[in-house]
Amino acid sequence: MAELRRLLIENFRLKANIGIDGVLPLNSHEKHYLKRVLRLRRGDAIAVLDGVGHLWEATLLGVDSIRLSSSLDCPLETQPRPKPLIGLAVVLPKRGFSEMLRMSCEIGVDIIQPLCSERSVVHIDKAKKSSRWEGILREAVEQSERLWIPEFRSIIHVSEWLKEKPSKASFAFASTRLPGSNDLQFWMMGIEQKIDQIYVAIGPEGGWTPKEQALAKELSCIDVQLGESIMRTSTAAVVATKLMVDWRRNSSLCI
């Protein structure tokens, strides 16, 4: 299946619109993607994934529909969601957020939590931007051949996000110049395998305020650093994602 180009179609839409003959009508975006971007023709095969761990092979019937080669109950490939979940919480930067989404998705992030903070510099139309960002994630999933699309959550203030910390989660608060901060890699080496989620929170270009750092410490978040270099928010987010995904992969190999 690796040689087939991929098309992400949400599970709910597959269930609601597929016919008894396995034929699924395509929407305008999918028609454009298959015909104009991938330049596929009638009879060409593609891989269809639902973003929640399942993959089927399908045939392009024409410009308007595809037919799955097997029923929805019998996907060609099923993949459980990796555990623990890798979470990235990041204060929206002035530049680079879209590219950060793409790269963190390709690397393997599971949850993306956009944040605002006391030093936020970006004020956005949430609905408009959210639609664009979700499109970027879809494209990154198709390109990277993932079977799970990252969960993209609504924007929330960092103080509210910290107060909603799940009981079986480890949260790290990335800081650059905070004395006594733990190296992220060393800190992760001591994490128990029983956790369900691991998060690294990346602050704005101006850094976290003392009030935000105090609240994070009060709620059992660990101060970490990603290295000696001063990174942009978007760069730090990608670095943190790579380190967390590598930690999870190496930890699973040791079990």
- Residues in the chain, how many? 255
Q: Where in the chain is the domain with CATH 3.40.1280.10?
A: 85-254
Q: Strand, helix or coil at 81?
A: coil
In angstroms, rounded to a whole number, what is the distance separating the alpha carbons of residues 114 and 150? 13
Query: Is the CATH number of domain 85-254 3.40.50.970?
Result: no
129: Cβ–Cβ under 8 A, 6 or more apart, which residues?
none
Give the DSSP letter of residue 37: I
Residues of the chain with CATH 2.40.240.20: 6-78
Percent with pLDDT over 90 in the chain: 73
* Rounded Cα distance, 241 and 25, in Å: 36
pLDDT at 128: 65
Q: What CA–CA distance (Å, rounded) separates 240 from 225?
A: 9
Query: Which range has the worst mean pLDDT, 65-69, 96-100, 113-117, 224-228?
Result: 224-228
67 within 8 A of 24, measured Cβ to Cβ: yes
Check if the beta carbon of residue 248 is closer than 8 Å to that of residue 200.
Answer: no
pLDDT tens digits, residue range 37-61? 889 999 999 999 999 999 999 999 9
- Average pLDDT across the chain, whole number: 91
Element (H, E) at 253: helix 233-254
To the question of domain 6-78 being in CATH 2.40.240.20, the answer is yes
Residue 1 pLDDT exceeds 50 = no
